[in-house]
Structure 1
């Protein structure tokens, strides 16, 4: 790996002589002037060649990023947990069809669906029937939502859970499930998860600066908006606790491409396999399977309150990419278009979103209040609500669902009734009734189109 210890690249500093297809030129094309103000560290692997670099969207706010800069990788942690499962299966120490109740040391009964228990494979493939988060999940600090949630609380929530579908049949992305899988491996092996990952994954791959805790670069909830790290109980950390560096993640990517001859070789091959088809989509050891051109690639993204990340592995072409972001970009696909473009230059690269010119003098009071969101099937996510308030002279939005309350975020007025958060790809269009009262709204974020009704 040839990333220098410190790299400073911005829209003003990128070399004009850079090749059109170089990593840094692609970063510049995708990010120069983007409203998010994100800084990224990126890696591109093509066979034996590795290219790496860093880029900041805002030339007036360039942050130093290098090979050993540590980021929260969020839900990419799940792929590490999947590799751990694959290694235990390879050694005959774990059976994917084992009921999770046999692994967990608890006297409380676990939920079943018409007599069918949750198996390891069901948690691994997000087909357990468990919801995204426990119904009783309470957040004391929206900026650090998992802090303080304990294994004891998880076991109690798991015992009280009602499965929404038969295990193995329906795909529902579940952080609940991956916290349960993390704890099940701890109980099954008798070792803390941090020790398991260190001994089974990090050490064999030479990932010396990767762990479930420790310092990172500063994370951001938006342009210039610093935010705290997310903390997890270590034995639940397979859901999203891992913190790593571009250098370490490069070794991990190379291993998934097959450039590893150590003790993990067979487990790495297994970890990229499809296990089941659920809802007509392939599911495996946490990796997602995305169609790029005429082939499927492995991909997974991650997002916390101040970081986003995405990794792509194309075993057929022996290429891989990684983008680590010091700003939450989850609502804009975690720059998935960039990561996919790096492994296949025919994949469309999106344009950066420029800073919008704000409209002033708008009566914001008419928009204050709570709106429930709906899709074609009824209430969105059961109880998803957005609430608008005025802070200073700006309209702020705060979303909540299932007891999880997100931070308040400022919106930019781009017209009398349109407000946006460009770095999240979010647009709100308020709709007035004939009498002038604002009782409805249209909510747009990426491919998501919802309706809102005032409560």
Structure 2
């Protein structure tokens, strides 16, 4: 099991009978805790659609220096929630007979050289389920880190990078989350329709559903309603632009607009897109944890007989979540204006399945600087995934990398004892093997009853 994927994937934290839906007072307390205590945003908006009607709860402000209260019409970067729109475009084109989901992507890109493996070509289905074998980011990106890293990436660069990339695993064999793949998918669909991605999106989805606040290019009016983003250091940052990878994470939207989309998925709003929406849940491939399968764009996670369908995203300055429970026909949107690994995702999941509890705040103690130095270093899991423990001033940070050495994110960690550190934004902990003197020998990641040991390598 790929340890970092377990950490950042979606594993169910509890079991038993499905509980009652959380009430407004409970949810508002959680939103306040996100802003006032954890400082995971200056503003959070939660939208819920249910058979009893819609609810919208919000707390906080547009920014550190902007005291306007956030609400349903506040504009956020929705990051990888864009992938749901791209996958819906794919399903819609298949429903209308414009393409076949299992056809090679070169069906629409005759003049583009794409990587293949053992004679097999990448299909639309492979891209939409993150099983194409393409990595998270383009290998010819100018920088794999830093703010706004995709903005200057052009279509020409994308195709150049793809033409020389060698796939490291069989196409369709395993899950690997890929912005590169979804950028390619968005461009291929636009080429099939002989238009731009933005025009196709407006023609087929946002126009018919009257989602006027869901856009790639911000109007002046939308800019005036946009929450300021904040980076991991809680500093204000500008919007993240995606260049040629707009189909992966290029959209801006509001909670009110995204609720329209979710209402359509649960059948509360009638739309000609209903067959395409249903088709998105039909193909199933392996997801990024044992409980999760991939549909077209959507993750489908099962606990006993209960399923939730969901997606999330993170930009340089935001966190977004949306999903729905097909049985209860409850849907949720959660938007926060800071780049964290959690945002309000867990609150959204709690709404969809109340057995799943929001992240807890664990006890914390202070340790001496000399003791903290003993944990620092690099550790490797059995499957090749890596963990680095570093200090950022007085803070301790866990940095996660895949066995392909791709960035898997970072989390603050806080000591509960001399051996146990809890992750700040994931319900998991690190247990260090600490000798009487010297550096820690190893560390074990514990989460949801699973344990993964990593030995010190540096």
Q: TM-score, normalised by structure 2?
A: 0.79
In the alignment, which residue of structure 2 is the partner of 1:350? 358
The reply on whether 1:375 has 2:381 as its aligned counterpart is yes
Structure 2 segments unaligned to the other structure (5+ residues): 1-19
Indicate the residue corresponding to 1:6 in structure 2: none
> Please, which of 145, 153, 156 is the counterpart of residue 152 of structure 1?
156
Structure 2 residue matching 1:251: 3-state secondary structure: helix
Change (3 A) 1:418 1:348: closer
| CA contact 2:47–2:333 (8 Å) conserved in 1 | yes
In structure 1, the partner of 2:178 is: 174
What is the number of residues matched between the two proteins? 421
Equivalent of residue 229 in structure 2, options 219, 223, 230: 219
Cα 1:428–1:218 change in 2 (3 A) is: farther
Q: 1:409-420 maps to which residues of 2 (within 5 A)?
A: none
CA distance in 2, matches of 1:127, 1:429: 33
- 1:67 alignment counterpart: 72
- Over 3 Å counting, the alpha-carbon distance change for 1:85 and 1:342 in structure 2 is same
User: In the alignment, what sits opposite 1:210?
Assistant: 214
2:259 to 250, 256, 259: 250
Shift of 1:84: 0.7
Structure 1 unmatched runs, 5+: 1-18
When residues 449 and 28 of structure 1 are mapped into structure 2, their CA distance, relative to the original with a 3 A threshold, is farther
Which residue number in structure 1 is paired with residue 106 of structure 2? 101
The one-character-per-residue Cα deviations of 1:88-108 (angstroms, maximum 9, x if unpaired) are 112211211221123225353
Let me know the Cα RMSD of the aligned residues: 3.5
Cα 1:27–1:292 change in 2 (3 A) is: farther
C-alpha spacing 1:176/1:358, structure 2 compared with 1 (3 Å): same
Judging changes above 3 Å, is the alpha-carbon distance between structure 1 residues 418 and 296 closer, same or farther for their aligned structure 2 residues?
closer
Name the counterpart of 2:250.
241
Report whether the alignment pairs 1:80 with 2:94. no
Cα distance, 1:252 vs structure 2: 0.8
**Pairwise CA distance, 1:237:** 1.2
Higher RCO (CA 8 Å, separation ≥ 6 residues): 2
Flag the 1:443–1:126 CA change in 2: closer, same or farther, 3 A.
same
**Alpha-carbon distance in structure 2 between the residues aligned to 1:376 and 1:404:** 17
Please state how far the C-alpha of 1:427 moved relative to its aligned partner.
5.3
Q: 1:195 to 1:107 in 2, by over 3 A?
A: closer
- The separation in 2 between residues aligned to 1:305 and 1:445, in whole angstroms, is 28
Distance 1:24 1:44, change over 3 A: farther
Please report how far the alpha carbon of residue 202 of structure 1 lies from its aligned counterpart in structure 2 after TM superposition: 0.9
Return the alpha-carbon distance in structure 2 between the equivalents of residues 191 and 267 of structure 1.
Answer: 20
**CA shift for structure 1 position 420:** 5.7
2:5 is matched with which residue? none
Q: Is the CA contact 2:104–2:121 (under 8 Å) kept in the aligned structure 1?
A: yes
Counting only pairs closer than 5 Å after superposition, residues 299-448 of structure 1 correspond to structure 2 as: 299-330=310-341, 332=342, 334-345=343-354, 347-353=355-361, 359=366, 361-363=368-370, 366-367=373-374, 370-371=377-378, 373-377=379-383, 379-380=384-385, 384=386, 386=388, 388-389=390-391, 391=393, 394=395, 422-423=424-425, 431-432=433-434, 436-438=437-439, 440-442=441-443, 444=445
* 1:194 positional shift: 1.4
Judged with a 3 Å threshold, the aligned counterparts in structure 2 of structure 1 residues 451 and 36 are, in CA distance, closer, same or farther, namely farther
Displacement of 1:428 after TM fit?
Answer: 5.5
What is the CA distance between 1:286 and its match in structure 2?
A: 0.8
The separation in 2 between residues aligned to 1:325 and 1:85, in whole angstroms, is: 28
